[in-house]
Chains A and B, each alone.
Chain A
Amino acid sequence: MNLPADKFKGKFQKTIYLTCNSFSVQGIGAIIVIVAVSTAALLAGLITVHPSNLPSGAPFTPPCVEHFLGTDDLGIDIWSQIVYGGRTSIYVGIGTALLAGVAGALAGIAAGYFGGHTERLIMRLTDIMIILPDLPLLILVGAFFGPGINNIILVLALFSWTHPARIVRSKVISIKEENYIKAAVSFGAGFRHILLRHFLPGVMPLLSVSVIRLTGRAIVAEAGLAFLGLGDPLSKSWGLILNHAINFRGIYFTPFWKWWLMTPLIAITLLVFAIALVARDLEKKINTKGVIS
């Protein structure tokens, strides 16, 4: 999409226009969902009436005007829990993805650029990480490190960096063979210049898609850990709400699951699905040229 820059008055307008043109209808819907969920999580204090950690009504209140997603077994407002829990989930998702993305990119660039032993070492490491079954190890390491939201991010990142590392490495290898790198080297460019001017801009599009995908994956993984009781009991995430709901004996014999169990489930699904859609649209844009055009 090459439009003359002066057609738009402001940069913001141009961005909006280009976004609408670049993404499919689903993609735009997904962006709206992501923006809405993130805003809600950020402005949690403004859009909730009840506290998320204290009872504010009778237990098991079905959705009503006062508690429009109902309350749980302790009478805590579920809407508040979902909104505050979104904070944790998004924090874990983005934190994990960024950490894994940065670490993976560094490992991938090192492997791709230096080659030789460095490459062999890093690539064997990724192979090992890939064949190891994620969940049992996550449980093990999660239990070992102990609960704590930052520990969870660390643990999840540990199992996520291999994907960005591999795609970055292959991209770096292909860029490294380009004549413009030979030219830059002939001008006397050092690693720093090549990294900052050629490699990073070159891998950024692919890396960003990878990071977005990792975000979705991390949100699910965190929910899974919390669901299994390995989450941080102090920071209430969507997984933890699920965990509480499922642990309520006989929840399926009661109508409570309709609001207590379903709402966190829907929240997770909606956000992860939206992230996946955005990643898909971005990937399509990149495939032809390696550029987000």
Chain B
Amino acid sequence: MRKPLLGIDNLSVRYNTRGEHSEILDRVSIEVEEGGSLGIIGETGSGKTTLAMAVMRLLDKKADIAGEIIFRGKNLLGVTPKEIDAIRWSKISVMFQNSLDVMNPVLTILEQLSECIVRHCGASKKDAEKKSYELLDSVGLDRGTALLYPHQVSGGMRQRALLAMAISCDPEILIADEPTSSLDSSLKGEIIGLLSELQKKNKFTLIVISHEISTIYELTSRLAVMYRGRVVEEGVTREVLINPMHPYTRGLINSSPDINPYRDLWGIPQNRIEQKNAGCVFYSRCTQRESECRDKKPELEYAAIERKVACNRGGIVPILQGRSLNYAYQSSGMSIKACEDCSINVYSGEVTALIGESGSGKSTLAALLAGVFSPDSGTVEFNGNQVTGNSETSKNGGLQIIFQDPYTSINENFTVMDAVSEPLVISKKFKSDEIINTVVSTLNEVDLPSEQVFLERRCHTLSGGERQRIAIARALVMRPSLLIADEITSMLDTSTRANIIRMLKGLQNTKGFAMLFITHDLAVAGKISDRVYLMKQGKIAEKGSVHQVLHRIDSEREYTGSFFYNNLKS
């Protein structure tokens, strides 16, 4: 392996403000190879910009810094201000986040550029001016703009000017801090193109700090994901974005339409529970937290080839694993195979879609996974426990299944209260006022009224959509960590279907449970799911992330005369 050009080792940064310490970076370790490119992604406040500032030694007065920043074998934190001055800008330069105040408003662009060149590269004023014009050419700016003041140019032009300044001394490392965040999409494309072109030409090492996945995806080969001052995942950019292994990375990707434009947007829900300093930084928003995570900070460790993840559970864990499941219906001496060697994984906090035509064995597989049927061979594991019968479905926080037909899945002579509270009553672990509170709050969650009159209504007086909501509420009162939804919308009209799916996906997102969504509707699966399994004639025909599979199906439709897609649609 080549020696890294820049190695950040256990870097911690704390800001001192009025005696209050706030930890901005916590033992961050990142390396960049010479000529390589690294993306740093994270939400606002994750410490990305602080990292760049620390590398540039711009934080000395404001913060306590610990750790090492090794550039070409030299610890930047140990060198004298004079030495750092020589390195800053000529060796490592920053393209700051685009805003009016990063440029001096009383100097023209030309003056600023040449000042920079004179100061950091030691050129004469005349050479500097000449070089400035060349730089403007290389970033695609008209020479005429050189004499304008910063407030007279557009945002895109200012970004180009900033880029010109950053590369003015041919730095070895260029740190681009949010290079595209305030630009419109065509300008974004231009800046991205310009950056990668310049990187090819000038052969500098590029570090891109951004919260925009598309920018990172196009500019970098490696990626570090930061959250609250910690690197939570690191790996090859493409791999990380296609197959995230940390729940936070997945959340970021789900919040961005760049990777899969068909999908609905869902942000990572905000803190729901109290966060301790000692625990994992993502604890409060994590969908797979365990009690251990509250008190133990996970270290960044290898989870796969070229992939490091900081998670106590080793990354996103599969919550349900079905391994080579076989099931055949026996009827009058005949044996009809409904599931053949089906293996399926559902990951914690994710929506997995199981798509297939009717009769392809989807519902049978769902019943096997939930323990309603027991498989002829093969095993089902839920959270590491073998699923046998109702062993997991009778647990609080376990697995729940919602059936296709809301008319038979609820005893229609039951009142709403009876129907929703049934699992709680059966479990015998709750007092009656707890049960009432849970039922009322769950009914609110599924957008049903919770007045006494409604609680006392018999289910046969309710519509199909309402009954399906009741069925969902009944599953949710057990606070499941996995919900199997078996064609729950196929008997409902379009508008009710849309409402229920959005509601369910919203609940899934905020509550963080995993969901196995069984459907024959490709479009719906594309909207809400993370992973897709495709069943055909009792076998798993395809699997993968949702955009991979849908993309394959789309291209298949183009080339093979659409039999496959039509079959599914009908």
- Could you tell me which A residues sit within 8 Å of B by CB distance? 2, 178-180, 182-189, 193, 197-198, 201-202, 289, 291
Contact = CB atoms under 8 A, between A and B. Distances in A.
Contact of A186 (B393, B412, B425, B461): B393
B426 A180 contact: no
B390 A187 contact: yes
Given A179-B409, A291-B413, A184 B426 contact: yes
Nearest to A291: B413
B69 interface: no
Contact of B427 (A187, A197, A289): A187
Interface stretch (B72-80, B337-345, B400-408): B400-408
B393 A180 contact: no
Contacts of B393: 186-188
B250 interface: no
Contacts of A198: 411
Nearest to B486: A179
Contacts of B478: 187
Contact of B423 (A179, A187, A289): A187
Interface string B389-402: 01001100000110
Contacts of B460: 289, 291
Secondary structure of the A contact surface, majority rule = helix
A183 B486 CA distance: 13
Nearest to B477: A187
Nearest to A190: B426
Contacts of A189: 422, 426
Lowest 7 A-B CB distances belong to which pairs?
A: A188-B394, A186-B393, A187-B423, A179-B409, A180-B411, A179-B408, A179-B403
- Which of B372, B418, B426 is the most central at the interface, judged by chain A CB atoms within 10 Å of its CB? B426
Contacts of A193: 425-426
A187 B461 contact: no
Nearest to B371: A186
B24 interface: no
B308 interface: no
Contacts of B405: 179
Nearest to A180: B411
Contacts of A185: 390
A2 B426 contact: no
Given A291-B413, A291-B460, A186 B394 contact: yes
A187 B409 contact: no
Interface in B221-250: none
Contacts of A184: 422, 426
B427 A186 contact: no
Contacts of B418: 197
A2 B461 contact: yes
A183 B474 contact: yes
